[in-house]
Amino acid sequence: MQELKQDYVYRRMTQPVLDAQYNIRIQIPDFPELFESWKERSAAVCAALGKNAHIDLAYGDAPLQKLDLFLCGEAGKPLVVFIHGGYWRAQDKSEFGYVAEPFVADGINVAVINYRLAPHVTMDELVADVRESLAWLYRNAATYSIDANRIAVTGSSAGGHLTVMSIITDWAARGLPHDLVKGGVALSGLYDLEPIRLCYLNQEIGLDIETAARNSPMLTMPASAPMLYLSVGGIESGEFQRQERDFAEAWRKAGLRCEVIRQTDGHHFDMIEFLIDRNGALYSSLKHIINI
């Protein structure tokens, strides 16, 4: 029997198959309830922290170039920076303040950043926002009694991608310490943007071949980088599993340090819960980066 011709668009996947691999919401039917619970938890954490919660600090002039800073109340403590997901086109820092709760309780400051979103800006501009937010935090650390020499970055999904983009930044070229970021924990990240360019998401993100390539950590390995931890949910799609596997291999082949923290279960949105589990490996990894 003659095999039917398939119109493959990426790695022997047809368009519907590729789209389904990256369509997170159809894989998690209760996502609206999850999103609402994040907002409620974040509002409660913000209220509980009171004057130690600094909301909407501006690192740029655009409305979304703002961050929330949650302080532990002790001078000279380190900083964890959380970058939200949403496929670079959705979600907001106000949904993720709850991430700060366990860290603040353990004497760690937390910043949750916003960045401008596609399709209103390009991927280059969006990545630049994240870098500028980190530069602002470093320059203003003393104002908030933060130890500027202990900054770690973490994020999930698009935030995982942006975590790695912050780690591979040439900070010295920006007049800042080359090791401004001491390390990162990237959750369910997108390290090769070519499949994103080819799937349904690109209708809003607007990647071309060149933009996808220069913003793909897989294709832009630095000469040196701090410690990087990677993790993906055990029941996430094959493409998210492959992204992590291929990137970890490429990172190590470039002579860079990387540890993959395996998850036996957990979907895409569970990864943040794993991150803030004070008894979990992801939480311990962040503490290790900032010497706690």
- Is 260's pLDDT higher than 50? yes
Instruction: List the one residue out of 25, 32, 33, 157 whose CA is nearest residue 84.
Output: 157
Write down all domains in the chain, each with its CATH number in brackets: 8-289 (3.40.50.1820)
Take residue 96 and report the two structure tokens written for it: 């993720």
- Is 2's pLDDT higher than 80? no
pLDDT digits (tens, 9 = 90+) for 193-242: 999 999 999 999 999 999 999 999 999 999 999 999 999 999 999 999 99
The pLDDT assigned to 233 comes to 98
- Is 181's pLDDT higher than 90? yes
Instruction: List the one residue out of 82, 279, 83, 289 whose CA is nearest residue 180.
Output: 289
The pLDDT assigned to 292 comes to 82
Instruction: Identify the band that residue 1 occupies on the pLDDT scale cut at 50, 70 and 90.
Output: very low
pLDDT digits (tens, 9 = 90+) for 82-116: 999 999 999 999 999 999 999 999 999 999 999 99
- Is 5's pLDDT higher than 90? no
Give the whole-number percent of the chain exceeding pLDDT 70: 98
Give the Cα separation of 42 and 113 in Å (integer): 14
- Is 29's pLDDT higher than 50? yes
Mean pLDDT, range 244-271, rounded to an integer: 98
Instruction: Identify the band that residue 74 occupies on the pLDDT scale cut at 50, 70 and 90.
Output: very high
Give the Cα separation of 63 and 256 in Å (integer): 36
Asked whether 110 and 70 are in contact (CB, 8 A), the reply is yes
Instruction: Identify the band that residue 6 occupies on the pLDDT scale cut at 50, 70 and 90.
Output: confident
